[in-house]
Amino acid sequence: MTPLEYYQKALDEDRIQPDSQQTPVIEKLDAIYQTLVVREKNKNWLASFRKKKLINGLYLWGSVGIGKTFLMDCFYHCLTMPKLRLHFHQFMYRIHQELKQIQGEKNPLEKIAKKISQETHVICFDEFFVSNIADAMILGELFLHLFKNGITLITSSNIPPDLLYLDGLQRERFLPAIELIKQNTEVIHLHSKMDYRQQHIRNTGVYYTPADETATHNMENAFTHFSNAMPADCEPIKICDRNINIIKKAGSVVWFDFEVICGRPRSQNDYLEITKSYHTVLIQNLREIRANENDLILSFIYLVDILYDAHCRLIISAEVSLDKIYRAGKTIQPVERTLSRLIEMQSESYVYPNLSGNELTQL
């Protein structure tokens, strides 16, 4: 089945709604798929020792909830060749870990890119968003070697390439990465007025505001429910060789204060490690984040993104409603995606993915 056929099947089965803005995108993805298939069929034993001919990919950007991820799903599902799909921050976590392993060696990024190209022909990134200097400084060289090794890149983002890492430190060193993206992918802006994430969502009540005694009582009930009333303790948890204070934990459920989990220096790696041990995260006392609190809002974005990708439950008590968490600042576009995800994370299908409607009414 081709991506176009997969998309049409979803339409026929009423799993998605017709959207004229998506048609040229799925047609482009189908064309890339067909070209990749032809290359696979035509390769021979000798060619396997040569560098793969680069097939340009796609950089798909647009606002939240308009179907970018589903379109990539159609493409990725149909690929039968070696492929890799992950969130951008997960990919960069892998790169930094491998850099540590070969520290001191010459041309480490070239070696890592070659290794990746031996594992996969296509890389699909969800939510391309560069915010820290550690990633920005290596992406130009990394992309150069990935493309040289014939990797086809398919990625989604909320912003166009030219706005990536805008106002970031030493951004001039990141500009070659932007040019490589534009040279090796077709950039398409997906327009749509519909946020599909927010359709048919029945709220389960896992965002409690204001952060008063009632909210605390609800949080206690949620903690007991999702931990199956297991014995709890308040000992700090050790993440990436550092202790992090908690309110309490039990089984696979952990409860944090907002200022502790987001207000202190945290990396994406911290949050990734948390998802390996806990399937439900509670955060109390979320407050409005001011426009100048750039580190705080970025930490919150990373936390939500990583929990969402790992399909961890997130239960929050907050001083303000969702739409008032962050109302102004240079990070407003990524925040729109985060808020959309927070809405989806309140849905019963997200919180209770394995339960039917009848079972849900009994909880």
The sheet with strand 57-61 has its strands ordered as 83-87, 122-126, 152-157, 57-61, 185-189
Chosen domain end from 189, 218, 251: 189
Q: What pLDDT, on a 0 to 100 scale, did the predictor assign at position 353? A: 73
By three-state DSSP, how is residue 358 classified?
helix
Q: What is the CATH number of the domain that holds 46?
A: 3.40.50.300
Residues 6+ apart with CB under 8 A from 331: 294, 297, 298, 301
Domain around 147: 3-189
Q: Are residues 217 and 246 in the same domain?
A: yes
Q: What pLDDT, on a 0 to 100 scale, did the predictor assign at position 47? A: 54
Query: In which element (H, E) is residue 317 found?
Result: strand 313-318
Q: What are the DSSP E strand ranges found in 128-223?
A: 152-157, 185-189, 207-208
Among 56, 77, 59, residue whose Cα is nearest residue 68: 59
Distance CA 86, CA 129 (A): 13
Q: Are residues 185 and 236 in the same domain?
A: no
Query: In which element (H, E) is residue 243 found?
Result: strand 242-244
Domain count, the chain: 2
Q: What pLDDT, on a 0 to 100 scale, did the predictor assign at position 219? A: 94
Q: Are residues 94 and 170 in the same domain?
A: yes
Q: What pLDDT, on a 0 to 100 scale, did the predictor assign at position 284? A: 97
Q: What pLDDT, on a 0 to 100 scale, did the predictor assign at position 267? A: 85
Q: What pLDDT, on a 0 to 100 scale, did the predictor assign at position 358? A: 37
Q: Are residues 212 and 345 in the same domain?
A: yes
Which tokens belong to 125?
Answer: 């990134």
Chosen domain end from 189, 221, 239: 189
Q: Are residues 43 and 118 in the same domain?
A: yes
Q: Are residues 119 and 227 in the same domain?
A: no
Q: Are residues 181 and 261 in the same domain?
A: no
Distance CA 90, CA 109 (A): 17
Query: In which element (H, E) is residue 84 found?
Result: strand 83-87
Evaluate whether 294 touches 187 at the Cβ level (below 8 Å). Answer: no
Phi, psi dihedral angles at 259 (to 5 degrees): -65, -30
Chosen domain end from 146, 170, 189: 189
Q: Are residues 168 and 213 in the same domain?
A: no
Q: What pLDDT, on a 0 to 100 scale, did the predictor assign at position 354? A: 59
Q: What pLDDT, on a 0 to 100 scale, did the predictor assign at position 288? A: 94
Q: What pLDDT, on a 0 to 100 scale, did the predictor assign at position 140? A: 95
In a domain, 275, yes or no: yes
Q: Are residues 219 and 148 in the same domain?
A: no
Q: Are residues 158 and 216 in the same domain?
A: no
Q: Are residues 117 and 179 in the same domain?
A: yes
Instruction: List per-residue pLDDT tens for the chain, 363 residues long.
Output: 999 999 999 999 988 888 899 999 999 999 999 999 998 887 754 455 455 678 999 999 988 778 898 999 999 999 999 999 988 888 998 999 999 999 999 999 999 999 999 999 999 998 898 988 889 999 999 999 999 999 999 999 988 999 999 888 899 999 999 999 999 999 999 986 665 555 544 445 689 999 999 999 999 999 998 998 899 999 999 998 899 999 999 999 999 999 999 998 888 889 999 999 999 999 999 999 998 898 899 999 999 989 998 899 999 999 999 889 998 776 777 788 888 888 888 887 788 775 444 333 333
> Which residues, listed in sequence order, are joined to residue 157 by a DSSP beta bridge?
61
Evaluate whether 40 touches 122 at the Cβ level (below 8 Å). Answer: no
Residues 6+ apart with CB under 8 A from 129: 88, 157, 158, 159, 164, 334
In a domain, 363, yes or no: no
Q: What is the CATH number of the domain that holds 215?
A: 3.40.50
Q: Which string of DSSP letters, residue by residue, matches 251-311?
A: TTEEEEEHHHHTSS---HHHHHHHHHH-SEEEEEEE-PPPTT-HHHHHHHHHHHHHHHHTT
Q: What pLDDT, on a 0 to 100 scale, did the predictor assign at position 52? A: 64
Q: Are residues 56 and 174 in the same domain?
A: yes
Q: What pLDDT, on a 0 to 100 scale, did the predictor assign at position 101? A: 94
